[in-house]
Structure 1
Amino acid sequence: MKNLLVTLADLPAFEEVIDVRTPLEYADDHIPGAINAPVLSNEERVIVGTLYKQDPFAATKLGAGLVAKNLGIHLATTFKDRPKNWRPLIYCWRGGKRSGSMTTWFNLIGWKARQLAGGYKAYRGQVLQQLEALPAALRFIVLAGHTGCGKTRLLHALAQNGAQTLDLEGLAKHRGSVLGSFPAASQPSQKSFDSQLIRQLSLFDHTRPVFVEAESKRVGKIHLPASLMLAIRAADCILLQASFTDRIRFLCDDYASLFDDPASFKIKLSRLVEMHGKVVLAHWNELIDQGQKAELFSELISLHYDPAYKRSSQGNYLRLSDARPLVIDPSGDLSACAKQLIVDLAA
């Protein structure tokens, strides 16, 4: 099989990339663009793995039969219309028997299939290496400011007007705070987030700045790479400012969906009980029941978000004290503001 092995450097030469791992492994993370054609199902892999601990030979024989069965199904369905000169790249976890089996059979059929040496494990190793190197090569501009001042909205306006932006909350599917989970969307796995992040970082032009929001090292359950945190915490900052009234109005609109599910809203806030006490939490729960949005967000800003920002921001972002101030209405049209910011930073 050595002559059928290729490396990640050969990836562009192939028309299609096939991940033969289980659907669960594929969902956790995969090479971008790869399709999933598992040679063992989730359940079958568990059965074979359990048996292998007791009788390796019996497990290998059982696994071979299951792989043959599933290969037959894929040939009759997923790959039935592939042309004679088709050239796929196939991988599994470590470039072992699962991908080797499909690669061998595809070549016997006449396709020019190749197996990825090291499998997904080699790809994951490359991702971790790139996570160490790429952030340091980019010039970040950090959008800092209190909760409710429109950092995400300005970031999106910058992107719409041609600026390079890194939307970490969008990639992580979380807004970074205790109330930050996206409605009807779960967060990706850490590995999947890392893959999406590398894909984004590799597209940036190193001669132009990259705008990014100020973030803590965790966005929901996702951990941001230490190399990225070092790069953005040492970057130049723009300090967004908005009136208290404008911030309240913005949060009432931006987090309005939380009031559609009061029980879930209260569960989220319950994580703050150790910090603020049961009496305060009970009061906030009453405001939720009464639909008092402005009152609740006013107290959350005053008692929780602003004190937390004061504790963490100055120590985390080295150039925040020299930041350029920018007063905006977070609920307004930020396109003109974004355009001017792009022009100013290009000058």
Structure 2
Amino acid sequence: MKYPAVLSFNDIFPQLDAFDTIIDARSESEYALDHIPGAINCPVLNDEERILVGTTYKQVGSFEAKRIGAPLVAKNIARYIDTLFADKPRDWKPLVYCWRGGNRSGSMAHILAKVGWPVVQLDGGYKAYRAYVAAALENPPALSFRVVCGTTGSGKSRLLETLDAIGAQVLDLERLAAHRGSVLGHLPGEPQPTQKMFETRIWDKLRRFDPSKPVFVESESKKVGNLRVPDAVMERMRASPCIALTLSRPNRVRLLMEDYQHFCADPSSLNAQLDHLVQLHGRARIDAWHEMAEGGRIPELVDELLVEHYDPAYLRSIDRNFVQYPQAQVLELGDIGKEDFLAAARSLQSAAM
């Protein structure tokens, strides 16, 4: 094969995991929005340089823009070869892509091939990859989902984490979305990914699952925080067999107190989130909940939120959206210790084998 080889993503996909390095040659801001899983960012033009070249192109012309851009591109590629790629052997096989598979990835692929490495360039660039992912999520693989249902605080996320730890197949949408899925679900210090990155993470998980084994997933709504679960994935989930996870209300309060310690330390942050519920519960009730938070009565507040808000909303949603929930396998947790979740996870894994 002649290098650089320019291949479509359809041709690349079967060998995607065989590349030694996947190089995203776009700018750092483009990379941050979404990228091929596992790719490293080596901007041929960084954000500042890209603005300079683009402005020159619009205001002066193509030739002047290329004259300014060429030494920047050459300098950046040379730096990567001198640093990141200096120790790569002759048979090192990288995949390179940019936005449309044009000048940026073409320049890098050309120079890497001249060095002697068997480099592949993605024809159509990120846009071609993104089109592939979007199409794949419209028709996801035929996986056997097992939907873990349960009211807020019943331990669904902890059960999924434990299942994952013992080797079961798990699609943890909340982890992929960096959000716990409720009005209080924002994770401090961890922003949610973009919608495209969320979909990339889902696609990457789905493609790696063994169709002969079950995939455990939580009974999410269509949105996890600000992100939307792809429609076809949600439809498959909602049509799947369910597991009804149960835990006593006092233990649910204990679990939520552990999971949401950041709100206990900062009642003002909790109250700001509770303000989103004014339309549902009225100003008077929200003010009463504010007083509980400010007075340190967090366990009492959590219990009241479960009774007045979370449980009614969750039960309505489950009955409406998950058609096999009436026939759900009941799984009762006696406590919230690690051994309790481990026993529950092992029982589910054994039953699925």
Do both share a fold (TM > 0.5)?
A: yes
Residue 94 of structure 1 aligns with an amino acid whose one-letter code is: R
Match of 1:276 in 2: 281
User: Is the aligned partner of 1:98 residue 2:104?
Assistant: yes
SS at structure 2 position matched to 1:81: coil
Q: Aligned pair count? A: 345
Residue 295 of structure 1 aligns with an amino acid whose one-letter code is: E
Q: Could you tell me whether the CA contact under 8 Å between 2:3 and 2:120 is conserved in 1?
A: no
Match of 2:347 in 1: 340
RMSD: 2.1
User: Using the alignment, how far apart are the partners of 1:225 and 1:32 within structure 2?
Assistant: 18
User: Is the aligned partner of 1:60 residue 2:88?
Assistant: no
Query: Following superposition, which runs of at least 4 residues in structure 1 exceed 4 angstroms of deviation?
Result: none
Matches within 5 A, 1:243-322: 243-322=248-327
Residue 48 of structure 1 aligns with an amino acid whose one-letter code is: V
SS at structure 1 position matched to 2:316: helix
SS at structure 2 position matched to 1:40: coil
Residues 71 and 253 (structure 1 numbering): CA distance in 2 closer, same or farther, change over 3 Å? closer
Greater displacement, 203-212 / 213-222? 203-212
Match of 1:221 among 223, 226, 230: 226
Greater displacement, 145-154 / 223-232? 145-154
Match of 1:80 in 2: 86
Residues 293 and 66 (structure 1 numbering): CA distance in 2 closer, same or farther, change over 3 Å? same
SS at structure 2 position matched to 1:134: coil
Shift of 1:121: 1.2
User: Is the aligned partner of 1:183 residue 2:188?
Assistant: yes
Match of 2:215 in 1: 210
SS at structure 2 position matched to 1:284: helix
Residues 90 and 142 (structure 1 numbering): CA distance in 2 closer, same or farther, change over 3 Å? same
Shift of 1:281: 1.7
Match of 1:194 in 2: 199
| 1:94-114, Cα deviation, whole Å (9 max, x unpaired) | 100111111222233333333
User: Is the aligned partner of 1:234 residue 2:239?
Assistant: yes
Greater displacement, 199-208 / 9-18? 9-18
Q: Could you tell me whether the CA contact under 8 Å between 1:143 and 1:240 is conserved in 2?
A: yes
Structure 1 spans left out of the alignment, 5+ residues? none
Match of 1:168 among 167, 173, 186: 173
Match of 2:6 in 1: 5
Match of 1:153 among 146, 155, 158: 158
Structure 2 spans left out of the alignment, 5+ residues? none
Q: Could you tell me whether the CA contact under 8 Å between 2:28 and 2:47 is conserved in 1?
A: yes
User: Using the alignment, how far apart are the partners of 2:89 and 2:342 within structure 1?
Assistant: 48
Q: Could you tell me whether the CA contact under 8 Å between 1:6 and 1:114 is conserved in 2?
A: yes
Shift of 1:84: 4.1
Q: Could you tell me whether the CA contact under 8 Å between 2:331 and 2:344 is conserved in 1?
A: no
When the two structures are superposed, what TM-score results if normalisation uses the length of structure 1? 0.92
Shift of 1:216: 0.4
User: Using the alignment, how far apart are the partners of 1:113 and 1:324 within structure 2?
Assistant: 51
SS at structure 2 position matched to 1:211: strand
Shift of 1:85: 4.4
Percent identity, please. Answer: 47
Match of 2:28 among 10, 23, 30: 23
